[in-house]
Amino acid sequence: MRGTSRIPRSLLGALVGVTALLTTGTLAAPAGAAPAPAPDPGARSVTAAAQERARDFWTPQRMRDAAPLDLLDGQGARGSTPAKGAKATVAPTAPAAATDVGIQAFPNGGSQWTGGGAVVSTAGRVFFTYQGRTASCSGNAVTSANKSTVITAGHCVKMDGAWHTNWVFVPGYHDGQAPHGRWTASKTLATPQWTASEDINYDVGAAVVAPLGGRLLTDVVGGQGLAFNTGYNLRMYSFGFPAAAPYDGEKFIYCSGNTNRDFLLSDDHGMTCNMTGGSSGGPWFTQFNESTGTGLLSSVNSFKYNFFPNRMYGPYFGADAQNLYQAAQSS
């Protein structure tokens, strides 16, 4: 997770900063020209040739070797207020059958998911190249008109002013394996506030993935529904693939509990959870059903304050997140 908008100078002396939970490795960037320039400031299109290179680049060993690197950057939220409006929801689509996973409990709210259900197939790891290094986040397939939309964090598609390259989504990832395939982005998008200034209140990103083997993403893995303008103080479930200690990126971890609004520098939801680097972009669900593994995606793993290591934050899904979703599903 990462907070990348700058703290006002008047607050720099009062705050330690936030913990960036992006995981990066040390592999060299693959050869090849960068994808074509984005058609607008909020999106980046990827050529077919670049998509093929990305799919080939992410071998099982390279996915396993994406080593964690937590960055302390002394940055935080601008404190702007996200737009609120009428509550809106999008129903889930039927997922593919999912297999169960083993259990392991971690302190401070993180446990390996054992419930099976739709979330095991719709959630996955995100891999990309960031500043010449391999990197990982998490993401989730959602119900969409194009059947090809993944929701993640804004910093999992663009960070430090540059769009990530070699972007792939691996639903159901485990042990370096891609049981449902490696889905390459044909387009990545973020909210305009994230694109312009990396405002932590709007740390929401999306990707439109290309067909794989002649099939569309949610026809293969299903898609979770979404909810916007839900309000605060909700019971929520958070999922992801944390890769920094005590995790290793190979386990599908979740936290659950009552959330509340951040009282410091953002307008985000907050939850007790110790997930670490690599979990960024993983889904937060309201109305989550443990029996079916389905819920309404209402936020994503975004950042932590480094003085609250067991408290995680996710952006409020208001009008701007809803507009981003609409733009992605219509692409």
Give me the domains of the chain, ranges plus CATH numbers: 9-329 (2.40.10.120)
Of 244, 240, 36, 25, the residue nearest 151 (C-alpha):
240
Q: What pLDDT, on the 0 to 100 scale, is given for residue 306?
A: 82
Q: What pLDDT, on the 0 to 100 scale, is given for residue 6?
A: 35
Please say whether the beta carbons of 98 and 174 come within 8 A. no
3-state secondary structure of 218: helix
Q: What pLDDT, on the 0 to 100 scale, is given for residue 254?
A: 94
Residue 314 CA to residue 295 CA, distance in Å, equals 16
Q: What pLDDT, on the 0 to 100 scale, is given for residue 12?
A: 23
CB neighbours of residue 286 within 10 Å: 22
The label of the residue with tokens 């997922």 reads 95
Residue 300 CA to residue 139 CA, distance in Å, equals 8
Partners of 305 in the β-ladder: 18
Quote helix, strand, coil % in the chain, to nearest 5.
Answer: 15, 35, 50
Q: What pLDDT, on the 0 to 100 scale, is given for residue 29?
A: 28
- 57-87 burial, b for 16+ CB within 10 Å, e for fewer? bbeeeebeebbbbbeeeebbbbbeebeeeee
Q: What pLDDT, on the 0 to 100 scale, is given for residue 207?
A: 98
**H or E element that contains 286:** strand 283-289
3-state secondary structure of 120: helix
Q: Which residues of the chain have pLDDT under 70?
A: 1-41, 67-109
DSSP state of 7: P
Please say whether the beta carbons of 189 and 157 come within 8 A. yes
Residue 123 CA to residue 149 CA, distance in Å, equals 12
